[in-house]
């Protein structure tokens, strides 16, 4: 799984948006595949034009709760966007997930200007789902 700092550095190195799209697709290809059983209605993210599935994994590390995420999509670009969202939020405490504002990262990557409004809404739906899962983890 890529770290968001690495993704940002790679984006800054790539000038051409066609190359950036290819890089986003490669990020998606690098995601660990989900099992068929994980492609369930329970894991499906509502509000995405493409099909997107997200799973939240909870672990205790040094006495603290850490959330990691895995995901998949049936569309290549969207799968890459899933990888970017996972890189932003994975490996953080529920509190840190809730405190993370991804907008400055999206601005830096210029994603909003280069993805369709439907995909942008899908990214927003993924983020809302991740934050809802972080709230649920805090409630436990």
Which positions are catalytic?
Answer: 48
Closest CA to 2 of 80, 105, 100, 118: 80
Closest CA to 33 of 91, 87, 74: 74
| Burial class, 37, CB count within 10 angstroms (exposed 0-12 / middle 13-18 / buried 19+) | exposed
Strands (E), 50-92: 52-61, 64-73
71 forms beta bridges with: 54
């Amino acid at each position: 799984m890529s770290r968001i700092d690495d993704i940002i550095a790679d984006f800054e190195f790539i000038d051409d948006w066609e190359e950036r799209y290819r890089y986003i697709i490669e990020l998606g290809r690098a995601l660990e595949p989900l099992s068929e059983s994980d492609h369930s209605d329970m894991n499906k993210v509502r509000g995405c034009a493409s099909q997107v599935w997200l799973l939240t994994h909870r672990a205790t590390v040094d006495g603290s709760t850490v959330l990691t995420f895995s995901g998949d999509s049936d569309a290549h670009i969207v799968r890459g966007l899933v990888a970017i969202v996972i890189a932003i939020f994975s490996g953080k405490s529920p509190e840190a997930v809730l405190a993370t504002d991804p907008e400055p990262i999206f601005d830096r990557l210029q994603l909003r200007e280069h993805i369709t409004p439907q995909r942008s809404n899908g990214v927003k739906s993924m983020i809302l789902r991740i934050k809802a899962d972080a709230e649920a983890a805090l409630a436990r």
